[in-house]
Each structure stands twice: as C-alpha cells, then as structure tokens.
Amino acid sequence: MRVVVLGSAAGGGLPQWNCRCPNCTLARTEPARVRPRTQSSIAVSADGDDWLLINASPDIRQQLFDNPSMHPREGLRHSPIRSVLLTNGDVDHVAGLLTLREGQPFTLYATSGILESVNANRVFDVMAEGVVVRKTIGLGSSFEPLPGLTVTLFAVPGKVPLWLEGAQVEIGAETETTVGAMIEAGGKRLAYIPGCAQVNDDLRRRIAGVDALLFDGTVLYDDDMIRAGVGTKTGWRMGHVPMRGENGAIDALAGVEIGRRVFVHINNTNPVLVEESPERADVEAAGWTVAHDGLSLEL
C-alpha cells in the first residue's frame, strides 16, 4: 500500500491567508524553519496507479499539481483518482469537491450523515449526476473503493462540522459525522483519523496492531489557540484531542501497538510545526512523525 500525505495542515493551512501568528509569519519569511503546508488530505493506492483520495481539501488543485502520481496520464482527459472518501463534512475536507468537476467520473463515498450535508448543498451538483456516483457507506461495513483496497469506517468521538453547528453543540459523540477509516491492502493496515475529540478504549482496541496510524494533530495543548492569542476555542470545543497535556493522544496511545505514528491535520498555531523546536523534539522522542506535505509511506 502506498500513502501520500497531500496536505498535512488543518483548516486554514499554513500560512493561513489572514494570519500573522508566529508560525504563519515564519512560514512566509523562513520556510526552512516552518514549512508551509496545505489543508488536510491523503491519497492511498494499492498498486501505485489508481488512487483513493481521502478528504478533498480547498487546496486540492495545488496538491494534485505538486504530486506527479496524481497527474492525468492517458487520453485527453484522465485522472488516477478513481474514488473519493470523506471522513467528516468540514470545509477543509469537502470544499475541494468543487474542484473535481469537469466531467471526470469517480465514486464519492461517505456515511449518510456526511453525504447528506453534501447532498443538501446544491453547489456540489457540479459533480454531475451520472458522472460522479455518490455511495453511502454504513459504519462497520467494508467496501472496495479500488481493486485490492478495502476500507472500513468507524465512528470516533467528534462533532458536527463548524458550518452546521447550532446553538447547542454536542462534543465527543460517536456518530456518523466524524469517522476514522481502516484501510487494508496486501495484508497491511492503515488507520486514518484526521479528526478525533478523545482517545478511548474503543479506539485503542480498534487500531491496535496497525502498520501505520495517521492521527489528528490539530493542537499540542488543548489551549494552543488561546495561548497564541488567535481565538478563544479549546481543542475540545473544536472536536480535537491534544497531543500533550491532560488526556493527550501521545500518552493515551503509548501502550498501543502501532507500526508508524504520524500526526496530520496540524493547525497553524501548533508549536510542533517549528523545525528544531523543543516541542517537535518532544513528540519525535515519543515516536511520532509530524507530517509535511508530500510525506509518503510504503506499507
């Protein structure tokens, strides 16, 4: 199985268009110290030819341009992306669907909870009926988005997308709106969980023994955004478990057998984004890789 991290940042990317926080500033002025990153997406393949895109970020056009294995390679119109899977309905995971117009056939997979919010929004009809097939996938049932690649979706603690939040928001519920994907090919297993509010026993059991885990690295501490002075929201309020601190993912997953541990969906305020920072050294010493765009894994 081949895995390419197309975009390793959370919503907004790095630098974020309107942000002058220290990380966003360094990403503009000293990209060797803070590498710019595009928004959350990966691609997975069993054979290196046909690819499953997981989450369609607003930066998808740039991401496909930057990765030659995603370029069209036959006839006049073609794409190696045969299928697209969504793990939640956040803007950073669905807005790129608008770029996948132009009459290119593929299959779009998501749970009913996620697909309903796409279906309810007519702008997504640019993925024309009869060209793009939308398939609802139930939790726990396996499907084959590409020959030789099997995917199973499971609920993780999360919340509804920000743009669908009402007056009351339930955080940490395990529903169809925030899911993880277990991807299997050639006897190898990858767990992809870019959004997760909490690590619990269910999650630990489910991912035990995977060859690689790509996991929610939005915030280092629950109060990153507050410390950075850019907002009042905690990681918890955004539906994201911190790497460190109380209930941090690094400790919560320390006893679980996992081949390769990689943080993805990293918010631009996260101090681990600074190369050679003590925070980066700390998570690496704990066995984690901080993903950058273009990081690829061979499982």
Residues that bind Mn ion (CB under 5 A): 10-11, 90, 92
Q: Is 195 in the site for ligand MLT (CB under 6 A)?
A: yes
Question: What type of residue sits at position 37?
Answer: R
Which residue in 21, 91, 173, 286 binds ligand MLT (CB under 6 A)?
Answer: 91
Min CB(280)–Mn ion separation in Å:
21
Angle at 130 between CA 43 and CA 57, to 5 degrees: 30
Min CB(268)–ligand MLT separation in Å:
11
Instruction: Give the chain's length.
Output: 299
Which residue in 198, 268, 270, 289 binds Zn ion (CB under 5 A)?
Answer: 268
Distances (CA, A) of 117 to 33, 44, 121, 269, 275: 38, 24, 7, 28, 38
Distances (CA, A) of 177 to 87, 90, 238: 8, 10, 14
Q: Encoding tokens for residue 61?
A: 């056009």
Closer Cβ to ligand MLT, 146 or 192, answer by number: 192
Which residue in 98, 126, 162, 286 binds ligand MLT (CB under 6 A)?
Answer: 162
List, in order, residues 6 or more apart from 185 with CB less than 8 Å away: 1, 44, 46, 148, 149, 150, 299
Of ligand MLT, Mn ion, Zn ion, none, which one sits near residue 45, judging by CB under 5 to 8 A according to partner kind? Answer: none
Which residue in 5, 10, 115, 149 binds ligand MLT (CB under 6 A)?
Answer: 10
Q: Encoding tokens for residue 51?
A: 């690819």
Q: Is 24 in the site for Zn ion (CB under 5 A)?
A: yes
Q: Is 96 in the site for ligand MLT (CB under 6 A)?
A: no
Residues that bind ligand MLT (CB under 6 A): 10-11, 90-92, 162, 195, 238-239
